[in-house]
């Protein structure tokens, strides 16, 4: 399933296509019980545990799941027991910043949607990287980061549809442009269930694809690598 999209849809058409797809996927997600999504979280953790990119990653970018999303708490516990350094996003105006979270108690309910975000005073992602890579030897070694990216819909080419604010698109675009004195090796995985996978996500040149889509269903997983 997926809306038909021309090669270069105008801005109004693209916005309409995106909103139509959001409505369709949200309707599908309403049929899922919290138990389904909780079990999907454990299945995702089992799949990630043996994923080469997970095993290589020193840092993991996670997020606190909202209603209708795969429960990400099992992923936090996996990252914690695997010795990963964990970061969660916090909305800061029109952007998101990532902050180190050592315990789930470091997350607080924020904003009108009561999304769990890192409390003030935690170490930012970039401050952590600057600190850990503060020697010439470390600066020559890429910092492997795995980003688990939320979305309402995904396609098999890594296309991602968010909730319309553009936070992740701006973050992923900006991190690629930052001139660090040391290389970052960011690999992104879109976490989804079959109800979120469509033939084609309508996208503009500013919409950033994920490297891989991981589909979770009743304890079974299947990967859709980006073409």
The domain 11-225 having CATH identifier 3.40.50.620: the answer here is no
| Average of per-residue pLDDT across 73-99 | 96
DSSP letters spanning 130-196: HHHT-SHHHHTS-EEEEEEE--SEE-TTS-EE-SSS-HHHHHHHHHHH---SS-EEEEEEEEE-GGG
Q: Is 59 annotated as a binding residue?
A: no
**2 annotated to a ligand binding site:** no
**Model confidence pLDDT, tens digit, residues 17-39:** 999 999 999 999 998 889 999 99
- Residue 107 marked in a binding site: no
Whether residue 167 is annotated as binding a ligand: the answer is: yes
186-198 pLDDT tens trace: 999 999 999 999 9
Please give the model's pTM, rounded to 2 decimal places: 0.87
164 is in an annotated binding site: yes
The answer on pLDDT for 11 being more than 70 is: no
């Amino acid at each position: 399933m997926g809306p038909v999209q021309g090669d270069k849809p105008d801005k109004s058409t693209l916005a309409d296509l995106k909103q139509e797809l959001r409505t369709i996927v949200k309707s599908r997600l309403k049929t899922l019980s919290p138990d389904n999504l909780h079990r999907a979280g454990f299945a995702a953790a089992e799949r990630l545990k043996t994923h080469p990119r997970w095993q290589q990653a020193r840092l993991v970018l996670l997020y606190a799941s909202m209603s209708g999303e795969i429960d990400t708490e099992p992923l936090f516990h996996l990252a914690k027991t695997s010795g990963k350094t964990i970061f969660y996003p916090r909305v800061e105006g029109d952007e998101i910043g990532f902050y180190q979270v050592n315990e789930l108690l470091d997350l607080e309910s924020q904003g009108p949607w009561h999304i769990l975000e890192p409390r003030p005073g935690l170490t930012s992602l970039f401050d952590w990287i600057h600190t850990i890579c503060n020697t010439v030897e470390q600066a020559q070694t890429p910092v492997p980061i795995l980003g688990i990216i939320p979305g309402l819909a995904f396609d098999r080419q890594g296309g991602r549809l968010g909730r319309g604010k553009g936070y992740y698109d701006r973050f992923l675009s900006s991190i690629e442009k930052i001139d660090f004195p040391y290389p970052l090796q960011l690999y992104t995985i879109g976490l989804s269930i079959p109800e979120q996978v469509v033939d084609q996500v309508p996208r503009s040149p500013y919409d950033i694809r994920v490297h891989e889509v991981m589909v979770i269903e009743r304890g079974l997983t299947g990967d859709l690598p980006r073409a």
